[in-house]
Structure 1
Amino acid sequence: MHLKQLNANVKKTRRGKRKPRLHSQIEPQEQQEPQMKTFLALCLITTLVVVVTRVIAELHDDHHDNNTIVVMLEKKANPLPCMKNLDNNAYNRFKNKHILDSNFNIADKIEWSKYLYEKGLCGRVPVQSFFQRNDEGKVKYICEGQGFVYKDNLCVSQETFTVIHVTSDAKPCRVTEVVPKEQKVMLACDTIANVECLPVHYEKYNGQPHEPQKCQQMLANASPLFAIPFLDLIKIVSIIFILT
């Protein structure tokens, strides 16, 4: 009787024990999934580091032609007015292209040709638009609560300006037409050097309807999540998903 009971206990013990799987028996997919996630995460992080490093290097290289970084920054507009612009010279570039810094007869094509030549603006685009020198303050105010949101970082002025539209050739530097026009304007507005919201781009305005909200208020009333560009938000979510 005792012998039978002992044999039964031995059989139960043998049935209860399971042989551990050898490392070679682990499913290939179970081995590859963590490795794939790690590889993708490293690739994404490396890409982000390279991009950030290039931007920082461009912004701090005093001897480098800044056209490259300007192209990089201008390709992607901020989704709201008065968000930070990485290019601290963005307003100075705008001013050089669109605000006169000297007084001359604006009806004289020869004077315009000399001005464009000195500024390196000959033939920059077929038709260039300029504000008069004494309007600089009012132009800035468009980005400081005196403009209405159109879309992205674009703001439409409340009042009209005298905008001088100049048609020119590049070679030789020659102005062929000068047309002053009283009109509302549309500007892209970004915060420069974490200090002031300023115009950084002139956009052609054709009477597009705008929002009732003022430019500066748009960013102030936005939640931090809404202020993140959509593609950047997708990247952030992707990184979190991969790392988890």
Structure 2
Amino acid sequence: MKVVLLIPVMCLPALTLVLGADEQKPPIHNDEPCQRNRDNNAYSKFVRNHIIPNSFNIASKPEWEKHVTLLDRCNKPTQTFIKKKYETKVQQICNGDGRQKNRNLCTSISKIPVYELIINTNCKVTKIQEQNIRYVTVACDKVLNHCRPVHFHGSQTTRPKKTAKLCST
């Protein structure tokens, strides 16, 4: 009788892993820009995580720390933000003002000011890189019938290749 009872107990962790694996699927990356994203909130999440209000005090470390803590992003040591007034410019990367880099990643054809933070493990800002004017790369997916940025991939000083395909619907 003990053997019969031990078998289900021994199999339970493996069964939990198998059942739980389906619930925690990694995000799907589309092969091309402006393909459907199953998450209707993907663009809202992008805005929440990377677009800061115009009234935000970018020079204040305590304000940044509060913001990052509220976003629950203390586990990301480098973070990039863009002011609200450039949100439309970021959207346009996916709608004709960006060139395809790889899969659904598109790089802006004009530079955009970005703010980069370095955060330690205690969620304290150790460095604020203010207003770097750079080319921005985002993942572009169709969300609620609009091609929008859904993931910030990075920023760089080099212009995208002119031969690369324009990103648009």
Tell me which interval the TM-score lies in, with the shorter structure as reference length. 0.7 to 0.9
Number of residue equivalences: 145
Query: Does residue 127 of the first structure (1) align with residue 78 of the second (2)?
Result: yes
Matches within 5 A, 1:160-179: 160-171=111-122, 173-179=123-129
User: What is the rounded CA distance, in whole Å, between the counterparts of 2:135 and 2:160 in structure 1?
Assistant: 12
User: What is the rounded CA distance, in whole Å, between the counterparts of 1:208 and 1:72 in structure 2?
Assistant: 30
Query: Residue 184 of structure 1: which of 127, 135, 143 is its match?
Result: 135
SS of the counterpart of 1:72? coil
AA aligned to 1:147 is G
Specify the alignment match of 2:57 in structure 1: 105
Shift of 1:128: 0.1
Q: 1:209 to 1:182 in 2, by over 3 A?
A: closer
AA aligned to 2:138 is L
Residue 127 of structure 1 contacts residue 166 of structure 1 at CA under 8 Å; is this kept in 2?
A: yes
Shift of 1:138: 0.9
AA aligned to 1:204 is G
Specify the alignment match of 2:12 in structure 1: none
Query: Residue 212 of structure 1: which of 149, 164, 168 is its match?
Result: 164
TM-score calculated relative to the size of structure 1:
0.55
Aligned structure 1 segments of 4 or more residues deviating by more than 6 angstroms: none
Identical counterparts, % of pairs: 34
1:97-147 deviation per Cα after TM superposition (whole angstroms, max 9, x unaligned)? 111136222122111111112222223x11100001111111111111111
Shift of 1:152: 0.5
Shift of 1:205: 3.6
Shift of 1:208: 7.1
Residue 103 of structure 1 contacts residue 133 of structure 1 at CA under 8 Å; is this kept in 2?
A: no
Write 1 or 2 for the structure with the bigger share of helix: 1
- Unaligned runs of at least 5 residues, structure 2: 1-21
AA aligned to 1:178 is I
User: What is the rounded CA distance, in whole Å, between the counterparts of 1:126 and 1:208 in structure 2?
Assistant: 26
User: What is the rounded CA distance, in whole Å, between the counterparts of 2:85 and 2:155 in structure 1?
Assistant: 21
Query: Residue 156 of structure 1: which of 107, 127, 134 is its match?
Result: 107
Write 1 or 2 for the structure with the bigger share of strand: 2
Specify the alignment match of 1:147 in structure 2: 98
TM-score calculated relative to the size of structure 2:
0.77
User: What is the rounded CA distance, in whole Å, between the counterparts of 1:164 and 1:197 in structure 2?
Assistant: 24
User: What is the rounded CA distance, in whole Å, between the counterparts of 2:39 and 2:164 in structure 1?
Assistant: 29
- Unaligned runs of at least 5 residues, structure 1: 1-53, 59-67, 218-244
Shift of 1:186: 0.6
